[in-house]
Structure 1
Amino acid sequence: MDFDEYIRIAESILGHVISKEQRDIVQHADGPLWIIAGPGSGKSEVLVLRTLKLIFVDSVNPKSIIITTFTEKAAKNLFNRILNYYVEMLSTQPEYANVDIYGLRIGTLHSLCNDIMLDYKCPEYENYRLLDDIEQTLYIYEHSNFVKSTNNLYLPLCIRLDYLFDQFDPITGSRGWSNHERLPNRWRRCKGAVSLFNRIVEDNIDLDLLSAANDPWNILLNAYNEYVESLEENRRCDFAHLQEKFLNFLNSPLGTLFLQGDRSDAHPGIRHLMVDEYQDTNPIQEAIYFKIAEIDHNICVVGDDDQALYRFRGGTVECMVNFDRKCEQQYGLHFDYDRWQKFLSKNYRSHEGIVTYYNQYITSFELMRMEGARVNGKPLLRAESSIIGDYPSVAFITGQTIEDTANKFASFVRDLLNNDIIQNPNQCALLMKSVKESPRNAFHFAEALRNIGIVPYNPRSRTFLDQIEITSALGAFISIVDPGMDALQSVRGDEINKKVHEWVGSCETLLQENQNLRNYVNSSIESIRNKPRDTWIDVSILDIFYRILSHEPYITWKDDPERSYRLGKLSSLFEAYSSIPLPHVPGSNRGFLKTSSEIDGKISLSWRIQFYYSLMGLLVSAGINDPENETEISPIDRLPIMTVHQAKGLEFDFVFVYGLNQDVKQESTISLENDLAQFRRNPSISRFNGLQKSEQDLIRFYFVAYSRAKYALIHLVPKNHFKNGKLGFIDKNTREFKNIVRKLEA
């Protein structure tokens, strides 16, 4: 099949003509490909068409193509689209039926690293347990000497990096770390350790440079090395070290076989790599990608520097902005901009007024016009949507207070429904920085919606621990393993004590209405009471937890999707805690219970105290989100309240944005990035200081929010938020904002 024939078939499937800028990308042959794709420009469609072009026109073995995405959901959606197009093409091109489309490697980089190393039986990764974020946090809490230490060995490091311990701590109910003569509390150090250990890997830090530095960097290196040694001893691997192991694999003989192949169908080698959402790539991922494409230089990156959001996960927009320089540095190429750089600048999503507005917004800041802030030569977006109409596509609603503004917002949504402008609440979305249902964030907006009969959908409201199915299940478990909460008396932490008493009280209320559950709890307490001291109990904590859920009302609650999701997440948390090995005892885990060596009929006091500090401390300190159904954005009859990060990649008919009053302050993630920059294997070439990076990140944050809207973008601005110098307004100028944006009387 030649290219022209392929395009004719593709256009007949799509039902529209492929634009010239899209066609140029699809037709690209070999060599690097740098695609800067603005919001709503059809980048997913281009990735699908380019993948199938490689297979149908260029006869590339699907096993020789790797496509990485930012989320598993995006990977699944992308593969389904490729599969659907492939099936459609087979109806007119049956000779391609022997193509194994399932041979494509599509997924997040983490999932691909895991799968490829398992496929190739990488000795450095076989029989390892991969820790998710929760398990890693619990593991570090239990195994890191930096976290467990009670002496001041690590105090100089904490003082040097004090910004890591300056956040609000739910366990103590305080903000900051006031007494620098003592270590921060254990949970604060745990969160700091997670950030430090991950960033050492993600920023591709040279440990030799770190070793050659003076204290406190030597202290950090020792803490990090102890953590890595512990992981290896217990055959555990976190997501950051998964990438490091994969990079080492690529440089091994097995990795050479994977990359170069041996001309067999099992090992055809890798010929093409495509990376989606490249603007959120971190330095070690960049190193992996350039290693994968080392042979043919067929690395295609797709993204938008204006939509970089994930610096807190190690992502650095530098990778996207300086892709051309990296190609020249890594491969010794003279970058051919005419052939290798492509812009997708037609927006097929939004009303022209919205596109004009966020073009004005992103270019109104001098900081975004400076060299290195954005990709050079980037054109403005052009509106190509079929959405038209002479109405205020960009507007604002204001009230005297947050509560007043929220009520006007809810009334406006009700009017949209009553006038059949929208048919369902989920055609709208409310976007904000934090969706916690507190008075300064989502509370008033959620209440205003409820008051007019619209139920908000807000799985990240941090109300997981307030739900009856969660509180009662935790209370039942605690009642069994620590009847009377004896061990809790030894636990320092007012918030842990408060929550545990609430959970046990919730359980006692439930037991009065459910005789079978009460019988199980009482019989379990009695069974443990009859055990002699220093004896292993024949049930694990998972057994106890699952038996609690096998009684009413949990059986009925499992039929409720939301309650079922929550109980499933709580089960996962118990499983994660159960899997944590005891320090210096490889092969052990926290899931097995033993009676006290000193008292008959009691679970080990040290186990109970550690359980409160560790798992219960995690629940209290982390503010667990509700689990989210990845198959749907929001139930059709509910209005989603989302963070901008949640909304990334999505679109809604009406988008409401709250919180246009952000001050610029240097984020701790940027402070850590700057502090570690001196030790990177590939030094940063950014010319911006920490405050400038923070401001750029906030500007991009609002750009992502504004570009989600299709028909209308509506700002929600209480009167006291109209202050010059705040982010969210064009050029941080509220007068300019009011000149451009129309006020709605709701």
Structure 2
Amino acid sequence: MGREGGLNDGQVGIVSATVDRSLFVIAGPGSGKTTASALRILKLIYVDGLDPLEIVATTFTRRAAAVLRSRIIEWGENIRARVLRTRRPVPPRFERLDFNQLRVGTIDSIAQDLLNEFRAAGAPRPTPVDTHVFAALMMAEGVRPTAAARSRRLCAFLESLGFNTYGGLLGLGGRAAALVEIRERLINDRVDRAALLAGAGRGAGDVSVGLSRALEAIETFEAVMREREIFDFAGLNEYFLEALGSGRMNDFLATVRFVLVDEYQDTNYLQESIYFALAAAARDNGGSICVVGDDDQSLYRFRGATVELFAGFRGRARDRVRIEATEIALNLNYRSTRNIVSLVDSFVRSDVIFQQARVIGKPALLHGAANEGELPLVGMFEDGKQLLAQEVANLIGRLVNGGRIRIADAEGRRHAIALDAERGSAGDIAILFDSTSEYRASGTERFPRLLRDELEALDPPIGVFNPRGQPLKKQAAVRRLLGLALLCLDPNGSILGSQRIGDPVLRELRGWRDDADAFLVSGPANLRRFVDSWQRRRATRPLRGNTNVSLSDLLYKLVTWIPAFQDDVEHLAWLEAIMRAVSAASLLRGFRGELIFAPGSLTDELATRSVADAIWRVFAPIADDVIEVEEDLLETLPRNRVNFMTIHQAKGLEFPVTIVDVGSELGDGRVSKPFKRYPTDPDRVHRMEDFFRPYSQIDLGNRTGQDRAFDDLTRKYFVAFSRAQDLLILVGHSVATTGISRSKKTMQSVATGWRRPSCAPAELWPWRGLSFLRRFR
């Protein structure tokens, strides 16, 4: 079960803790926290006598929850089998143990399960939907029917928070996405809306009036969601907290004796309140709470995560629930080579100002002697993105096709780089970007697109997995599928033309129809007959009067003529995103994703309204970029493709070869988005924190927004660098090595080791020139 050599002192401290001993575990990357957590739970069950039902264990992602659960069950069953073979008499409880009764999952899944299990008579059965799908619902039910649809003052308010409203011309989808983000902030920070409106919303200024418009749209939307019993994850957690305090979950709380919270650094204030309610129950039942996390790996502030809650956990637990937690540090990294661990630790310790935001007295990250590889740290920097893409693609091609690449370290020793001869594949390589978008808004190709093209042009070609590289609306197969559906539903486009959905969205939808028309010309005859039957409303089976036809059924039928949706992993992710939008529409009032099929009639009023409903709730949100591919669709990565990932998506993963883009865009001399490399001001997330938190009881410090922006960038690249197991390669434009663009602008970047400007000038760039990185030539 354990690694060779057994557990280290920190892991032993976690596993051996008594039932009533609460722990605050600082777990660095690759430090064996999952092993220690699983063994702690098994010790509680087998040694301390806890029943699986008395344990609640939460993790941040479904993938992490599945790993923890499977490890507990596998090891637990192995222990039980050994006891049953060797011990007589066998304790009766050993035979009755049911590890499937463990409550292990994300806080959202556990909340949903418990709300259903302890649901009061007549209470709603929670139905959570994904964030991007929720934005589509906000567009239809919150923005469209209120003044938010046209309000320029709403745009002024959004601009004050850092949203780009394109000069007040932000479309309905953009307004909806912004309002969903604001609503999540209100809920996750437990903002007092009445106090907010009385304070920031007082007066006749554009921002004040805009705030009122925003709250009006949000509350209109929430009324519909309550009526339909629909929740997003923030609303689900809010409902769960209310249920915990209402008394109707007392039977559950009476059973809780141990609470494990993994990835606590990405907890928000609402979730902290839930965890403290569970911890108080465990305390009263003679049990404890164990929180595990790493403030240096907190990435989700944009989703409401509040890293300060982790750094201040011991004091907050003492003050709020009278729990004293013992601190344990897991600082031995068993994932990466010594060179990688040394780089990661020196990077996170380089910025003196950042140390003020870290857990006090945090120990250095040390090499755990499990990965004894000696490959040097590598850099690849070229004078243009195209050349860089060619060089990186050629390197990947040689590795994937069984080649060995030699490189010398600083002492002149030669090393051979190769994938595992038996198990190695393209999936062992991950390329991490700030954004995996393949095109700019202007249509210009970005580095991920250039690299994809170069990899696919190799002989043999190497596939890429990057389903979020382009918006759904730009994918040819998606346009073709949805265009065919529009041709079936609205033959002459008259229903579409009568909808007030905005010119950009209308042009997009008409473009889909044009693409589908072109496909029909060269497509199979049976597809043309199918579309013609729909357009003429000729039923393929006998019908008596009008009947309902599911939009999802129509789409699944059309998919059979687009083979890529059946055998390509990227297309499957796109199809799932579309179907989630259709599924969400089925939850709302109105036609619920159903189409009224009136045989022989194109003018039936009810049928026309059902098509218009589908346009508003499915087609228009996709055309307006409201619907995206959710990260949970990317949790299973194909082994035969190179993975293009955001750093956020890579959190919790590890790869033998990790390539991090630290500056492919620097050669453009772009300074329009400094918050992505070297912040000059607080960005949107930090502005929202500063605006809303005076009306919350979260009670945090007064670190400036700009410093928090620098902190978050440091954490992001700490996570990126620490994903590497054997080989870490930093890539970018050659400007990354000089810090000066062709136009003589200074191009600082946290990713290349620059410290924030409050540091002494002589100490701003300790990684000057990136000379410690070895080159292939």
TM-score under structure 2 normalisation?
A: 0.83
AA aligned opposite 2:482: L
Distance 1:594 1:320, change over 3 A: same
Indicate whether 1:738 and 2:769 are aligned.
yes
Q: How many residues align?
A: 695
- The residue that corresponds to 2:691 in the other structure is 675
Counterparts of 1:222-261 in structure 2 under 5 Å? Answer: 222-260=216-254
Pairing 1:481–2:489 present = yes
Number of the residue aligned with 1:726: 749
Verify the 8 A CA contact 2:577 2:627 in the aligned structure 1.
no
Q: Take 1:399 and 1:194, find their aligned partners in 2: how far apart are those partners?
A: 41
2:128 — aligned with what? Answer: 130
1:646 corresponding residue in structure 2? 649
Unaligned runs of 5+ in 1: 1-9, 168-175, 261-268, 583-587
Q: Is 1:192 equivalent to 2:191 in the alignment?
A: no
Residues 316 and 605 of structure 1, relative CA distance in 2, 3 Å threshold: same
Matched residue, 2:60: 70
Structure-2 separation of matches of 1:562 and 1:221: 37
Structure 1 residue 636 displacement after superposition: 2.6
**2:397 aligned partner, one-letter code:** R
The residue number in structure 2 matching 1:524 is 534
Q: 2:592 aligns to what SS in structure 1?
A: coil
Match in the other structure for 2:712: 697
Counterpart residue number, 1:421:
418
| Shift of residue 567, structure 1, vs aligned partner | 3.1
1:523-577 per-residue CA deviation (whole Å, 9 max, x = no partner) reads: 11112799xxxx955424334334434x5455x9535555445434433322222
CA distance in 2, matches of 1:270, 1:110: 18
Equivalent residues of 1:307, 1:704 under 8 A apart: yes
**1:475-532 per-position Cα deviation (integer Å, ceiling 9, x unaligned):** 22100111122234345323541453245423542464322222121111112799xx
Q: Distance in 1 between matches of 2:572 and 2:133?
A: 21
Pairs within 5 Å for 1:47-66: 47-66=37-56
Q: Which amino acid aligns with 2:453?
A: E
Return the alpha-carbon distance in structure 1 between the equivalents of residues 319 and 95 of structure 2: 42
Offset of 1:436 from its aligned partner?
A: 1.4
SS of 2:248 mapped into structure 1? helix
Query: Which of residues 291, 310, 313 in structure 2 aligns to 1:301?
Result: 291
Tell me, yes or no, if the aligned pair for 2:456 and 2:462 is still in contact at 8 Å: yes
User: Where do 1:382-421 residues align within 5 Å?
Assistant: 382-392=366-376, 394-416=377-399, 417-419=402-404, 421=418
* 1:220-279: CA deviation from partner (whole Å, max 9, x where unpaired): 54444333322222222222111111111111222222101xxxxxxxx10111011111
Matches within 5 A, 1:251-650: 251-260=245-254, 269-297=255-283, 298-333=288-323, 335=324, 340-370=326-356, 373-392=357-376, 394-416=377-399, 417-419=402-404, 421-422=418-419, 423-438=424-439, 439-452=445-458, 453-462=461-470, 464-490=472-498, 491-494=501-504, 496-506=506-516, 508-510=518-520, 512-527=522-537, 537-549=547-559, 551-553=560-562, 558-582=566-590, 589-593=592-596, 600=603, 608=611, 611-622=614-625, 633-650=636-653
SS at match of 2:754: helix
**Equivalent in the alignment of 2:413:** none
1:153-168 equivalent positions in 2, closer than 5 A? 155-163=152-160, 166-167=163-164
* Unaligned segments of structure 2, at least 5 residues: 85-89, 203-207, 405-416, 440-444, 667-676, 740-746, 756-763
CA distance in 2, matches of 1:344, 1:124: 47
Change (3 A) 1:602 1:728: same
Residues 729 and 156 of structure 1: CA distance in aligned 2, closer, same or farther (over 3 Å): same
- Separation (CA, whole Å) in 2 of partners of 1:126 and 1:643: 36
Distance in 2, Cα, partners of 1:313 & 1:220 = 19
TM-fit CA distance, 1:744: 0.7
Percent identical among aligned pairs is 26
- The alpha carbon displacement at 1:126 in A equals 2.6
Maintained 8 Å contact 1:529/1:600 = no
Q: How many angstroms apart in 2 are the aligned matches of 1:682 and 1:628?
A: 28
SS of the residue corresponding to residue 622 of structure 1 reads coil
The SS at the match of 1:93 is helix
Determine the C-alpha separation between the residues in 1 that align with 2:569 and 2:307.
38
Distance verdict in 2 for CA 1:317–1:124, change over 3 Å: farther
Aligned to 2:191: 205
Cα distance in 2 for partners of 1:460, 1:542 equals 22
What does the per-residue CA deviation read over 1:610-636, in whole Å, with 9 as the maximum and x for residues that have no partner? 644542232133275557786975333
Residue identity opposite 2:360 in structure 1: N
Is residue 165–residue 192 contact of structure 1 (8 Å, CA) maintained in 2? no
Instruction: Report if the CA contact (8 A) 2:472-2:628 is conserved.
Output: yes
Q: Look up the SS of the partner of 1:378 in the other structure.
A: coil
Show the counterpart of 1:21: 10
Deviates more, 1:653-662 or 1:50-59: 653-662
Give the deviation of 1:463 after TM superposition.
5.6
Indicate the SS of the match to 1:148: coil
Deviation track 1:298-329 (CA, whole Å, cap 9, x = no partner) reads: 11111110000011111110111110111121
